[in-house]
Amino acid sequence: MRPFFILGCVRSGTTMLRDILRLHPNLACPEETHFFRWAEPFGTPAFVHVLTHNPVLIRHRQMDGISEEEFSSLLRGAQSRVDLYDKYMALFLQRRKPGATRWFDKTPQNVYGASLIAEIPGAKFLHIVRNPVEVVASLRIGKVMKVQELVGACSYWNEATAILNTIKRAFPERVLEVRYEDFVKQPLEGVEQILDFLGEPFDAKCYAGVDTREITHHDEGVLTADEIVRIQRLCHTGRVRYGYA
Specify the pLDDT at position 164.
97
Specify the pLDDT at position 50.
96
Given a cut of 90, whether residue 154 has pLDDT beyond it is: yes
- Mean pLDDT, range 92-118, rounded to an integer: 97
Sheet order of strands, 102-106 included: 27-28, 102-106, 4-7, 124-129, 175-179
Note the pLDDT tens digit of each residue in 127-137.
999 999 999 99
- Mean pLDDT, range 46-62, rounded to an integer: 97
Given a cut of 90, whether residue 144 has pLDDT beyond it is: no
Does CATH number 3.30.499.10 belong to domain 1-24+106-245? Answer: no
**3-class state of residue 215 by DSSP:** coil
DSSP 4-64: EEEE--TTSSHHHHHHHHTTSTTEE--S---TTTS-SPTTSHHHHHHHHH-HHHHHHHHHH
Given a cut of 70, whether residue 1 has pLDDT beyond it is: no
Given a cut of 80, whether residue 117 has pLDDT beyond it is: yes
Note the pLDDT tens digit of each residue in 167-187.
999 999 999 999 999 999 999
Note the pLDDT tens digit of each residue in 225-243.
999 999 999 999 999 999 9
- For the chain, the domains span 1-24+106-245, 27-100
Considering 63-67, 140-144, 213-217, the range whose residues carry the highest mean pLDDT is 63-67
- Mean pLDDT, range 88-98, rounded to an integer: 96
Q: Which of 188, 178, 179, 196 is nearest to 212 (CA)?
A: 188
Per-residue 3-state assignment (H helix, E strand, C coil) for 156-214: HHHHHHHHHHHHHHHCHHHEEEEEHHHHHHCHHHHHHHHHHHHCCCCCHHHHCCCCCCC
Specify the pLDDT at position 142.
87
Please tell me the pTM assigned to this model: 0.95
Given a cut of 70, whether residue 75 has pLDDT beyond it is: yes
